[in-house]
A and B are shown apart, each in its own frame.
Chain A
Amino acid sequence: MSFLGQTLAIAAKDLRSEVRSKETVNASLSFALVILLLFSFAFDPDSDQVREIAGGLLWLVFAFAGTLILNRSFARELVNDCLDALIASPVSGAQLFLGKCLANYALLMIVECISLPIFAIFYNVRLPQRLALLFLVMLLGTWGLTVIGTLFSAMTVNLRLRELMLPTLVYPLLIPALMGAIQLSTVLIAGDTLGEQNLFWFRLLVAFDVIFTILSLGLVEIVLVG
């Protein structure tokens, strides 16, 4: 099988097991709802202020709900020593990693696409006219979150405190991507036009994604095998 074929096989395997159990997507979605509820106590949900901080709120929800999915990504392979079997199989570390990334990416995008309209309804935020641009920001930002999250999920999989370690390690590293995604989302949701300054954030997001994808693909073999 080709490189892509094996990668897709891993991704399909992860997605299939998720479709059958629905455990992480359900948990992640309900967690997103809980956070959305909690926000309503943190500030006045009816004020105009919400539009100004909408991007930040949205990405906080995505990042928090995302780590639930990412945490399970490698941890679910621990049962019956599946992870060892996967590493021993003729699939390379990069393919295993990329396959898992794709599966996580799909799951995260599903969770995001469901929580975005709920967010808009709860907080009376009108979604922007150029929804496609917001979607592009979501695609770029989520890929950054997925790549770093999946690699660190592999790094922390054998730790007792992995549920704690993953967010503590991943969020600070994600700051550039989150910063860019938050800035762009806020501008788009407020209905403003994208200027020169915002173009920079787009470039930053793309650069972040490319750099960390390459770096992760290069280092994942060390993480998984040694």
Chain B
Amino acid sequence: MRLKIILALATLSALLLSWDLYRIFLQVPDEASQGAIFRIIYFHVPAAITSFAGFYVAMFSSIGYLIRKDLRLDAAAAAINEVSLAFATITLVTGSIWGRVIWGIWWTWDPRLTSFFVCWLIYVGYFMLRRAIDDPTARARMSAVLSIFACVDIVLVWKSIEWFRTQHPGPVLEIRGGGGMAPGMEAPLWWNLLALLMLSTALILIRMRQEAMQREIDSMRRFAHAF
């Protein structure tokens, strides 16, 4: 059943992505001031939203673990965070490429870039911590606490940078009061977001299957050692 869901999600997201790629590259005109490179926004922004959404969903999964003490919830949190970290990396890399073309530099210590890098580092630390703890329940407990801390911290980092003058463009999309993109240009971005969200859900489900198998192997190993 779950395998079918994964396959369905992956297929849907592949179809959606190809349709979107067609629209992005062949239908949407070049942007007036940036030219062709602006198209990177269709991956940069959805990847950033996907990663942040994932970090917060993972936090709720972590809180769920602390309440229910069900290791499956911890596995879900770890899987979600892992996929979100991958999307955060995509955001950093695409942003860096974009910056190289438009600003002429790969990286600038602009507050928004810095804060995103901080978030990225926090979640790298999350996986370092998970690796360092052998006992599954202790690992689940500590990483759940770190996940909660990280999500609260992201809000503070975010607020502190909004006050700072920034080189990164301000809100562009309509939902954040930007209204800076032509309607025909903005639509593929949301479709891409949907595709990436489906893709990440599929990846998370695959990751959770692996975790479940790992737990099964571990318990079989313990069982075998008992004799």
Contact = CB atoms under 8 A, between A and B. Distances in A.
Interface in A196-219: 197, 200, 204, 207-208, 211-212, 215, 219
B138 A226 contact: yes
7 contacts: A158-B138, A169-B146, A172-B125, A173-B122, A173-B153, A212-B152, A222-B144
A161 interface: yes
With a 10 A CB-CB cut-off, give which of B128, B150, B153, B159 has the most chain A CB atoms: B153
B160 A168 contact: no
Contact of B156 (A151, A159, A176): A176
Given A168-B128, A173-B122, A197-B163, A211 B152 contact: yes
Nearest to B143: A155
Interface in B119-173: 121-122, 125, 128-129, 132-133, 137-138, 141-142, 144-146, 148-150, 152-153, 156-157, 159-160, 163
Given A179-B160, A222-B141, A215 B148 contact: yes
Nearest to A215: B152
Contacts of B156: 176, 204, 207-208, 211
A165 B128 CA distance: 8
A155 B128 contact: no
Given A165-B128, A226-B138, A175 B157 contact: yes
Given A159-B133, A168-B128, A173-B153, A219 B145 contact: yes
A99 interface: no
A180 interface: yes
A223 B149 CA distance: 13
Please tell me the size bucket of the interface on B. 20 to 34
Provide the main secondary structure of the chain B interface: helix
B3 interface: no
Given A169-B128, A207-B156, A219-B145, 6 more contacts: A151-B145, A165-B129, A168-B128, A172-B121, A176-B156, A212-B152
A178 to B, nearest CB: 10
Contacts of B133: 158-159
Please tell me the size bucket of the interface on A. 20 to 34
Interface in A23-77: none
A222 B118 CA distance: 26
Contacts of A151: 145
Provide the main secondary structure of the chain A interface: helix
A160 interface: yes
A180 B163 CA distance: 12
B179 to A, nearest CB: 27
B132 A160 contact: yes
Interface of A: 148, 151, 155-156, 158-161, 165, 168-169, 172-173, 175-176, 179-180, 197, 200, 204, 207-208, 211-212, 215, 219, 222-223, 226
Nearest to A200: B163
B125 A180 contact: no
Interface in B92-141: 115, 118, 121-122, 125, 128-129, 132-133, 137-138, 141
The 8 tightest CB contacts between A and B, nearest first, are A172-B121, A176-B156, A169-B125, A172-B122, A159-B132, A175-B118, A176-B160, A155-B142
B194 interface: no
A207 B158 CA distance: 14
Nearest to A211: B152
Nearest to A226: B141
A161 B145 contact: no
B145 A155 contact: yes
B21 interface: no
B133 to A, nearest CB: 7
Nearest to B153: A173
A206 to B, nearest CB: 12
